[in-house]
């Protein structure tokens, strides 16, 4: 076997996991050339929460970030994470929006699109996979890994085969909670490799402290690519450290052959950046701790911090352990969905309501009702009739592909924002995050006006009357 390949996540998932996706483009560019020369399989630089964060918190245009990074990385493939029919938002979008978003992502510089669905419902991946291939991109279909009485090796092997038949160019096993155990990973990868011909990539988080061992067993079983993060922004709720994995594989048949000295130089840069984030209060040391409770409750790191925040706002932080105990119960009630966006938010919020209000399902978020109505896709197992009645009464459940209920919307969206549009991509920003995008467009116009005023002032000074 040739050496295992490495996808570096420091410019996307690493800072999403550790500093709430607050890394700025200006912090990425000084190290771009060195990252580009490492010889990574790919760099994950976009998607996930970066799009929302650029607009909402950083006053950056995510599309411009992508274009700037594409110019900076001349040798390395750029990768993004996409939530299937949810794109980068938190609801399903019409097919015309999905198709246009994927097309523009590839046009602006993305090579590989990792496409997942929170319910592992292939119907929610279909449009994005097809659009990626039509645009000339690499469609990486994804298995959202979780553990339940119905999520077993056979279930995942069957799903992998289905994804390959849908046209996936590669398959990622996405372990968002860090709960994929080493020997389970070995068996899973070996059996999937026996059934599909496309490359297999493993993505895990270090949250529970076992991801390094999981990677090693997966590699020995035939995994082709692993996700790692350069050490200053690795481990904790992020990915295993790049340098450590490269050193561990050195001299073996799986040696990635990357330059350790160059990795150490990159590490020094990000160490300085991490120190800056700590001073700014963006990096809470708690996210760097190993949390073995993850293995019991399957709660990803981001969901843990969200639960803490919700309980603090209710003045009920003392009920944290009780909520953790409630999470698996809610998950079972809802048909064992994997705890990944947006299902992690739904299950977590419902668990908080159940505990804080002292009565299960006394208050139910709209999203949970819509999920039970079938508007997000098909649960892994049918939802118990008693629970269903408690949540939606006698309302009908939709069993088709949720996006079939949505009318094309791009033309209407363009009309809505014609006064703000400066590029075709603006309509997609607005489609995903309407109010946040409008706020950003107003900011952009104000900044542009200030620049023009400065230029006028400069010209006035240069040419005296």
* pLDDT tens figures, 146-199: 999 999 999 999 999 999 999 999 999 999 999 999 999 999 999 999 999 999
One domain for residues 171 and 244: yes
CATH at residue 56: 3.20.20.70
Q: pLDDT class for 451, splitting at 50, 70, 90?
A: low
The per-residue pLDDT for range 367-394, each reduced to its tens digit, is: 999 999 999 999 999 999 999 999 999 9
HEC profile of 346-415: HHHHHHHHHHHCCCCCCCCCHHHHHHHCCCCCCCCCCCCHHHHHHHHCCCCCCCCCHHHHCCCCHHHHHH
Mean pLDDT is lowest, of 21-35, 163-177, 334-348, for 334-348
Residue linked to tokens 């929170």? 118
Total structural domains within the chain: 3
Residue ending a domain, among 285, 310, 333, is: 285
Host domain of residue 412: 408-449
Question: Of the candidates 237, 255, 285, which is a domain's last residue?
Answer: 285
Based on the fold, state whether residues 178 and 230 are members of the same structural domain.
Answer: yes
65 and 43, same structural domain?
A: yes
Boundary of a domain, candidates 362, 381, 400: 400
Domain co-membership, 392 together with 416:
no
Q: Is 181 a domain residue?
A: yes
- Residue 312, pLDDT score: 84
- Claim to verify: residue 386 and residue 418 sit in the same structural domain: no
Lowest-confidence segment of 23-37, 266-280, 312-326 by average pLDDT: 312-326
For residue 102, being part of any structural domain is answered with yes
Contacts (Cβ under 8 Å, ≥6 apart) of 438: 417, 420, 430
Residues 6+ apart with CB under 8 A from 373: 392, 395, 396, 397, 398
CATH number at residue 365: 1.10.472.90
Do the beta carbons of residue 169 and residue 140 sit within 8 Å? yes
What pLDDT is recorded for position 293?
A: 84
Instruction: Report pLDDT for 252.
Output: 97
CA dihedral angle for residue 204, residue 205, residue 209, residue 215, rounded to 10 degrees: 20
Q: Which residue has the tokens 């005023």?
A: 453
For 8, phi then psi, to 5°, come to -90, 130
Q: Which one has a higher pLDDT value, 340 or 462?
A: 340
Residue 461 belongs to a domain: no
pLDDT on residue 284: 82
140 occurs within a structural domain: yes
**Is 342 inside any structural domain?**
yes
Give the helix ranges, DSSP H, for 135-259.
153-165, 182-195, 211-220, 242-249
Q: Which pLDDT value is given to residue 66?
A: 98
User: Looking at residues 278-286, what average pLDDT do you find?
Assistant: 88
Tokens 């995994």, residue located: 223
pLDDT, mean over the chain: 93
Q: Verify that 86 and 137 share a domain, yes or no.
A: yes
In a domain, 155, yes or no: yes
Which helix (DSSP H) or strand (DSSP E) does residue 113 occupy? strand 112-115
Q: Tell me, what's the pLDDT at 298?
A: 85
Regarding whether 395 and 357 lie in a shared domain, the answer is yes
**Percent of the chain whose predicted confidence (pLDDT) is above 90:** 85
303 plus 370 within the same structural domain: yes
**88-97, 220-229, 406-415, 448-457 — which is least confidently predicted?**
448-457
Under the banding of pLDDT at 50, 70 and 90, the label for residue 357 is very high
445 pLDDT tier (thresholds 50, 70, 90): very high
89 and 230 inside one domain: yes
Assigned domain for 291 exists: no
pLDDT at residue 464 tops 70:
no
Q: Does residue 109 share a domain with residue 181? A: yes
426 and 329 assigned to the same domain: no
Instruction: Yes or no: say if 85 and 403 are a contact pair by the CB < 8 Å rule.
Output: yes
Residue 1: pLDDT band by 50, 70, 90 thresholds?
Answer: very low
325 shares its domain with 202: no
* 293, part of any domain: no
């Amino acid at each position: 076997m040739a050496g295992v390949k490495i996808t570096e996540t420091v410019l996307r998932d690493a800072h999403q996991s550790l500093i709430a996706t607050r890394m700025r483009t200006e912090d990425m560019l000084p190290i771009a050339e060195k990252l580009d020369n490492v010889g990574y399989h790919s760099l994950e630089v976009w998607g996930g929460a970066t799009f929302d964060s650029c607009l909402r918190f950083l006053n950056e245009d995510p599309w411009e970030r992508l274009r700037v990074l594409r110019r900076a990385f001349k040798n390395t493939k750029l990768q993004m994470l996409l939530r299937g029919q949810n794109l980068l938002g938190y609801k399903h979008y019409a097919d015309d929006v999905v198709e246009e978003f994927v097309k523009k992502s590839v046009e602006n510089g993305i090579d590989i699109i990792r496409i997942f669905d929170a319910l592992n419902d292939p119907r929610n991946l279909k449009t994005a996979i097809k659009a990626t291939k039509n645009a000339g991109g690499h469609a990486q279909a994804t298995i959202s890994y979780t553990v339940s009485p119905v999520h077993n090796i056979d279930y995942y092997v069957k799903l992998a085969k289905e994804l390959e038949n849908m046209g996936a160019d590669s398959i990622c096993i996405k372990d968002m909670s860090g709960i994929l155990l080493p020997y389970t990973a070995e068996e899973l990868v070996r059996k999937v490799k026996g059934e599909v011909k496309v490359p297999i990539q493993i993505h895990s988080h270090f949250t529970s402290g076992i991801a390094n061992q999981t990677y090693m067993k997966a590699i020995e079983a035939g995994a082709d690519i692993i996700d790692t993060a350069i050490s200053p922004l690795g481990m904790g709720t992020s990915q295993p450290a790049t340098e450590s994995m490269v050193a561990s594989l050195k001299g073996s048949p799986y040696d990635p052959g990357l330059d350790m000295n160059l990795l150490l130089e990159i590490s020094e840069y990000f160490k300085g950046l991490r120190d800056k984030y700590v001073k700014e209060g963006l990096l809470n040391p708690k996210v760097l701790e190993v949390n073995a409770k993850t293995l019991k409750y399957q709660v990803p790191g981001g969901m843990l911090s969200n639960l803490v925040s919700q309980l603090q706002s209710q003045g009920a932080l003392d009920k944290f352990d009780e909520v953790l105990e409630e999470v698996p119960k809610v998950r079972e009630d809802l048909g064992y969905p994997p705890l990944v966006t947006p299902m992690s938010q739904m299950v977590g919020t419902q668990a908080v309501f159940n505990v804080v209000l002292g009565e299960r399902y006394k208050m139910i978020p709209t999203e949970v009702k819509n999920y039970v109505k079938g508007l997000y896709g098909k649960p892994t197992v049918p939802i118990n009739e008693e629970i269903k009645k408690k949540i939606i009464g006698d309302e009908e459940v939709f069993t088709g592909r949720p996006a079939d209920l949505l009318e094309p919307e791009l033309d209407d969206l363009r009309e809505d924002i014609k006064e703000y549009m400066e590029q075709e991509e603006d309509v997609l920003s607005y489609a995903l995050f309407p109010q946040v995008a409008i706020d950003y467009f107003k900011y952009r116009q104000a900044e542009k006006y200030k620049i023009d005023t400065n230029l006028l002032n400069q010209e006035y000074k240069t040419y005296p009357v």
